[in-house]
Amino acid sequence: MCGIVGIIGKDAARKVINSLKILEYRGYDSAGIAVMLNGRIEVRKAAGTIENLISRYPDILEMRGELSIGHTRWATHGKVSDSNAHPITDCSRRIAVVHNGTIDNYMEIRERLSAKHEFRTETDTEVIAHLIEEKLNRGLGRLEAFVSAISELRGEYAVACMFEGANELYLARNRIPLVIGVGEGENYCASDVIALLNLTNKFIYVNDGEFALITSKNIDVWRFEEGRLIPVEKRINLVDWSPSMTSKGKYEHFMLKEIFEQEDVVKRILMESRRYIKGALSILEETMKNGGRIIFLAAGTSYHASMVGKYLLNSLLGYPSEVSIASEFTRWNLRGLSEDDLVIAVSQSGETADVLMAVKSAKEKGAKILSFVNVPGSTLSRESDEVFFFSAGPEIGVAATKTYVAELVSFLLTFTELGKITGDPVYHVAEALPRLPSIVASCLESSNRIAKALSEAIKGENSIFFMGRGINYPTALEGALKMKEISYIHAEGFPAGEYKHGPLALISEGTYSIVIGSNDQEIRDLLLSNVNELKARGSKVISVETDEHLPSDIRIKVAENGLPEEVLPVVFVIPLQLLAYYTAVTLGRNPDKPRNLAKSVTVK
């Protein structure tokens, strides 16, 4: 996943650099900008981060152009190098493009053009610049050349292009996010709204198959159908996120800031997100009335949240539901899907390719889509019949933290409200929700210190095992994912009842096992045996629980004994997030930008 940005207006280069710094969470292998200076295109690009680019080219912030495009790369085709960094130009260097996505047919286009065009990079993107040049050389105008070239591409792309001497930005989108920012006497484009919040909160969302031509004064959008450009009327959307949300503030990393934002996030969902619950309730009620299937689908952390969602729907409302890993959905769950069925798609970015592909297949079968999404204007939110925006604010850290808790609380709110309608026994959970923000706050306070201390104890481990039962089995999976994705320590989560069926063989003297507790007596009794068995084999047991129920070696005590089991995943995950964070930091990792990972996986 890369980040692209374009600015047409005063001080364009500096604004592009500022936006690229915010977009770095999307990829940071290399970075570059192109600026129109005295009618000519100047390119500055280099492997490494934006900071490295600025130190390589100190003049970059002095470049006073009125038009600039920029790119921060997560390499897909071609190694990480200066030459493979974007922007990428044509032979004459009169055309510059930046691109996020993958061009499936780039090799055949490259072979066709290589006789007359000098290729200087290993990227798939370069074919776009030469294709446009080819069309221009045949006498097409800029817009026709751009549209004709893009129309030859197969694959996924968000492209921004500039031509020497023309104060115009040309945009195209297919299955990769691209938004237009509306300014005062200037306009912008970027991979997502976060990158432009310091410039505007007015956005136009570009859809798949659409083209746009923006100048400092105008924004024109077209659909390209049967060889013709058909104008498209676009609405201006207001996004109520503030620029301060995209700064680390007093925190060393975005991840820590976002962990500590969780009290406010929970409060905001319980207070403000209620405006979205009506649509969610009606589509759920309709499905349940018709006895339709309900299938959650998601990836990564959102998948773990979906497991909790399924548990809540099954246990609170007694309605059977399924949960599917998005990339596996079409192979396991698609058959027999019909218009009576409901897919609950869960994605903080709303751009995860696996989720979008699965949703597309489900819609082709006639299923309805209810999505739980964080980012306004995201593709998933626009592909759904009903959307619950959980308003967690921008999440910059690659590791999902506040959006995980936001997803859990959104499910708790939705399914308890639904239970009140269907007459199911949900009040014991519903009445705990208003107390959640303060419980989360005290949990952050109480677990921060111990998590920091514990990180020193576990930082040398090769493997750490997480286990839980019932609604906290997903908590174990989520704790393991956080640990492995930012500290790079191997971590595995599994149902506590499963480790005797194999994983116990991995337990040796001193192995750390993290056991997620319970407020349910029957589950506690089972966990008690698990802890004794682990300790009998020399494992060091860390427990996360509400009281001293388990004979663990180290206990992280959070929340309260009397809290209903259904809300425990919200609080039990917090110490695990902090433990992963401090372990990563103590190991010298950058928790905001873990190696090989991207915030939103927009490629299949």
Q: Which of 2, 161, 189, 443 is catalytic?
A: 2
Cβ neighbours for 211, distance < 8 A, ≥ 6 positions apart: 143, 146, 147, 150, 170, 171, 172, 221, 222, 223, 224, 229
Choice between 299 and 344, CB closer to ligand AGP: 299
Q: Contact 171/159 with Cβ under 8 angstroms?
A: yes
Name the minimum Å distance from CB 401 to ligand AGP.
8
| Residue 400 is a binding residue for ligand AGP (CB under 6 A) | yes
Question: Closest residue to ligand AGP, Cβ-based?
Answer: 300
Q: Which two tokens stand for residue 162?
A: 């500039």
Closest CA to 523 of 483, 476, 573, 574: 476
| Residue 299 is a binding residue for ligand AGP (CB under 6 A) | yes
| Residue 347 is a binding residue for ligand AGP (CB under 6 A) | yes
Which contacts qualify for 242-251: CB closer than 8 Å, 24 or more apart?
A: 242/197, 243/197, 243/198, 245/194, 245/197, 245/393, 245/394, 246/22, 246/194, 246/197, 246/198, 246/394, 246/396
**Considering only residues 2, 150, 344, 399, which one is a binding residue for ligand AGP as defined by CB under 6 A?**
399
Identify each DSSP E strand in 456-572 by its residue range.
463-468, 490-495, 512-516, 540-545, 554-557
Q: Contact 543/554 with Cβ under 8 angstroms?
A: yes
Per-residue CA distances from 23 to 71, 142, 371, 543 (Å):
9, 28, 25, 37
| Residue 348 is a binding residue for ligand AGP (CB under 6 A) | yes
Q: Which of 189, 402, 599, 604 is catalytic?
A: 599
Choice between 521 and 596, CB closer to ligand AGP: 596
Name the minimum Å distance from CB 12 to ligand AGP.
30
Question: What part of residues 353-382 is at the interface with ligand AGP (CB under 6 A)?
Answer: 355
* Total interface residues for ligand AGP by CB under 6 A: 15
Site track for ligand AGP across 505-544, x = CB under 6 A: ----------------------------------------
Cis peptide before 87 (omega within 30 of 0): yes
Name the minimum Å distance from CB 334 to ligand AGP.
19
Choice between 63 and 399, CB closer to ligand AGP: 399
| Residue 600 is a binding residue for ligand AGP (CB under 6 A) | yes
CB atoms within 10 A of CB 77: 15
| Residue 301 is a binding residue for ligand AGP (CB under 6 A) | yes
Q: Contact 8/185 with Cβ under 8 angstroms?
A: no
**Considering only residues 19, 174, 302, 371, which one is a binding residue for ligand AGP as defined by CB under 6 A?**
302
Choice between 352 and 472, CB closer to ligand AGP: 352
HSE-up of 303 (CA within 13 Å, CB side)? 17
Closest CA to 266 of 405, 85, 66, 105: 405
Q: Look-up: residue for tokens 């999404």? A: 373
Name the minimum Å distance from CB 597 to ligand AGP.
7
Name the minimum Å distance from CB 175 to ligand AGP.
15
Choice between 96 and 603, CB closer to ligand AGP: 603
**Considering only residues 569, 601, 602, 603, which one is a binding residue for ligand AGP as defined by CB under 6 A?**
601
Choice between 3 and 300, CB closer to ligand AGP: 300
| Residue 485 is a binding residue for ligand AGP (CB under 6 A) | yes
Catalytic annotation present for 599: yes
Q: Contact 429/564 with Cβ under 8 angstroms?
A: yes
Cβ neighbours for 199, distance < 8 A, ≥ 6 positions apart: 7, 15, 19, 181, 183, 186, 188
Choice between 295 and 299, CB closer to ligand AGP: 299
Choice between 12 and 451, CB closer to ligand AGP: 451
**Considering only residues 174, 352, 384, 447, which one is a binding residue for ligand AGP as defined by CB under 6 A?**
352
Strand partners, 220: 213
Phi, psi at 303, each rounded to 5°: -70, -40
Q: Contact 4/569 with Cβ under 8 angstroms?
A: no
Catalytic annotation present for 91: no
Segment interacting with ligand AGP (CB under 6 A) among 21-29, 191-199, 300-308, 554-562 = 300-308
Q: Look-up: residue for tokens 């969602």? A: 309
**Considering only residues 219, 398, 523, 568, which one is a binding residue for ligand AGP as defined by CB under 6 A?**
398
Residues taking part in catalysis: 2, 599
Interface residues toward ligand AGP, by CB under 6 A: 299-302, 347-349, 352, 355, 398-400, 485, 600-601
